[in-house]
């Protein structure tokens, strides 16, 4: 069966350091992989998308890598700040291509940036 | 632009009661979705509507019905609520950009079934 795994435990990082979150998947051949941020009591917010033929994508302090051989994506936040504390969700479009029929989400990793 | 709006924000039902969760988007998106989020389970797709006039089942459709009233509105109905339907419900919309569907979520409806 299709499965997405993210670090289930909270990740504690000191302010200013780089936070690295992992997303692993099995039995998928996604065309795209997306990362979302979710704050308590709110809906997820889109951050970054990376295509299967892209190795790396950057946006300001965020960087995403996508290794389709390892079936893994890494999400990095450089120069982390307490305001980056949130739950980060990895999402795949499944095998349909694009996600028109919805995305499959990981359970999320709770990131805590300590001052 | 309000984005995606959902009503109500909170709801408490008794087992067997019915209710409809409302969702509207003002981004002119073709596709709309209903997800539920439970602790330890992540977001799971209930139903989706790829375009006005069409609806399809997602991963966990049992106990739910949907209506795509027009391009803006997509409602989720619980005909006979059960405690297992206690959850946070999120509506989302999307538009294809370069072949991918980035999703825009509403603030959620927190439903408790007693």
pLDDT per residue as tens digits for the range B29-43: 999 999 999 988 889
Task: Check whether A61 has a pLDDT greater than 80.
Answer: yes
pLDDT tens readout for residues A23-56: 999 888 888 899 999 999 999 999 999 988 898 9
Choose from A7, A31, A35, A43 for mutation: most chain B CBs within 10 A. A43
Q: What percent of chain A has a predicted confidence (pLDDT) above 90?
A: 73
Cα separations in angstroms, B43 against A26, A43, A67, A82, B69 = 18, 11, 24, 25, 24
pLDDT for res B1: 75
- pLDDT interval class at B75 (50, 70, 90): very high
pLDDT for res A97: 58
pLDDT for res B26: 97
With CA atoms as reference, the chain A residue closest to B90 would be: A43
If you search the block for the tokens 């989400």, which residue do you land on? A105
Is there a contact between A101 and A2 (Cβ–Cβ < 8 Å)?
no
pLDDT for res B23: 98
Query: Torsions phi, psi of A83, nearest 5?
Result: -65, -15
State the number of CA atoms in the 13 A half-sphere of B13 facing the CB: 25
Q: In this structure, how many other beta carbons lie within 10 angstroms of the beta carbon of residue A105?
A: 24
Sort strands B109-113 and B10-13 into parallel, antiparallel or unpaired.
parallel
Query: With contacts defined as CB-CB under 8 Å, which chain B residues touch A51?
Result: 100
């Amino acid at each position: 069966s299709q499965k997405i795994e993210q670090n289930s435990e909270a990740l504690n990082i000191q302010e200013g350091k780089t936070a690295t979150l992992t997303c692993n998947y099995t039995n998928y051949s996604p065309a795209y992989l997306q990362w979302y941020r979710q704050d308590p009591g709110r809906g997820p917010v889109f951050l970054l998308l990376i295509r299967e033929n892209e190795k790396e994508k950057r946006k300001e302090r965020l960087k995403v890598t996508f290794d389709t051989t390892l079936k893994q994506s890494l999400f990095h936040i450089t120069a982390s700040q307490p305001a980056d504390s949130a739950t980060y969700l990895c999402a795949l479009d499944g095998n349909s291509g694009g996600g028109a029929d919805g995305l499959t989400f990981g359970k999320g990793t709770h990131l805590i940036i300590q001052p | 632009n309000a984005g995606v709006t959902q009503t109500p924000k909170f709801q408490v039902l008794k087992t067997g009661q019915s209710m409809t969760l409302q969702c509207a988007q003002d981004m002119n998106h073709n596709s709309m979705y209903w997800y539920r989020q439970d602790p330890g389970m992540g977001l799971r797709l209930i139903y989706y509507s790829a375009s006005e006039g069409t609806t399809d089942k997602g991963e966990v459709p049992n106990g739910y019905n949907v209506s795509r009233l027009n391009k803006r509105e997509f409602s989720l109905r619980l005909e006979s609520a059960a405690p297992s339907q206690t959850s946070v419900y999120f509506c989302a919309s999307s538009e294809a950009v370069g072949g991918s569907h980035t999703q825009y979520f509403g603030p959620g409806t927190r439903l408790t079934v007693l």
